Amino acid sequence: MKKLLIASTSTVHGSTYLEYIETALAEFFKDIQTIVFVPYARPGGITHDAYTEIAQNGFEKIGKKVVGLHTFDNPVEAIESAEAVFTGGGNTFLLVTQLYKNEVMAPLRTRIFEGMPYFGTSAGANITGLTMQTTNDMPIVYPPSFKTLGAVPFNINPHYLDPDPTSTHKGETRETRIKEFHTINTQAVVGLREGSWLEVQGDEIILKGQLPARIFEQNKTPYELESGSKVKV
């Protein structure tokens, strides 16, 4: 049975890394001792070691050990033997490129469908969808495929932002971009606002956090899904 936490972000305004979701993480990982961390999404300015240390600091509060996937000689074997996996945020194009380059996309998907706990934030949340095509990131590299884990039957748009009627910005809104996506693609898109996450248990997907999510389906009017509700798309 699939077990996932799919979070829009690692940090919300006014809190420390993973603090806002700490209670949910403690319950989700209660039977886990060591978590394999995927640091591939960070394009620069921070090493994989430093990024893993940030993740470790976040999980120390709930008594968990974090080990970076980059430290293993064989990343495929590391995924295949992992108790649980956490994928952090950054650039989704880079993350997906590295997952394919290191040949871990397929084994990670297999482990998730076998029931291994998976937690993803931002880019790490984006890859749980059918494709990465609703990311907000710039295409700084060209991945072999836009196809991702398909752990949920829709796409994710992390960090979803509502249109600001007082803004002087005249460019496309996030909603406009997703509507553009739907002129060509059919899968639904879940817009996750900051501080919101999806809890997946098997085929049941429940929105958690204080804010509603924005649901987009092709040829339908977007609608709000309240926290505590099941996602049915």
Across residues 18-38, what is the average pLDDT? 97
pLDDT for position 169: 74
- Tell me which of 10, 70, 137, 196 is the catalytic residue: 137
182 is an active site residue: no
Identify the domain containing residue 101 by its residue range. Answer: 3-225
**Is residue 46 domain-resident?**
yes
Tens digits of per-residue pLDDT, 41-79? 998 889 999 999 999 999 999 999 999 999 999 999 999
Return d(Cα 201, Cα 144) in angstroms, integer.
30
- Tell me which of 8, 10, 122, 196 is the catalytic residue: 122
Short-list 181, 116, 186, CA closest to 153: 186
**Is residue 195 domain-resident?**
yes
Tens digits of per-residue pLDDT, 110-144? 999 999 999 999 999 999 999 999 999 999 999 99
31 is an active site residue: no
The helix or strand, by DSSP H or E, that contains position 131, with its residue range, turns out to be none
Across residues 163-189, what is the average pLDDT? 90
- Tell me which of 159, 182, 196, 229 is the catalytic residue: 159
pLDDT for position 179: 97
Neighbouring residues of 168: CB distance < 8 A, sequence distance ≥ 6: none
**Is residue 13 domain-resident?**
yes
What are the DSSP calls for 65-105, one per residue? EEEEGGGSS-HHHHHHH-S-EEE--S-HHHHHHHHHHTT-H
Q: Is the dihedral of CA 99, 149, 49, 92 positive or negative?
A: positive
**Is residue 233 domain-resident?**
no
Count structural domains, the chain.
Answer: 1
Name the percent of the chain lying above pLDDT 90.
93
**Is residue 231 domain-resident?**
no
Instruction: Supply 39's token pair.
Output: 């640091």
167 is an active site residue: no
**Is residue 167 domain-resident?**
yes
Other CB atoms closer than 10 Å to residue 205's CB: what's the count?
Answer: 22
Q: Is the pLDDT of residue 24 over 90?
A: yes
pTM, full prediction: 0.96
What CA–CA distances, in Å, run from 90 to 9, 100, 110, 155, 193?
10, 16, 23, 17, 17
**Is residue 9 domain-resident?**
yes
**Is residue 232 domain-resident?**
no
Tens digits of per-residue pLDDT, 136-174? 999 999 999 999 999 999 999 999 999 877 878 767 899
pLDDT for position 22: 97
Across residues 75-87, what is the average pLDDT? 98
17: CATH:
3.40.50.880
Across residues 9-38, what is the average pLDDT? 96
Neighbouring residues of 50: CB distance < 8 A, sequence distance ≥ 6: none
Q: At what angle do helices 105-114 and 92-101 cross, to 10 degrees?
A: 90
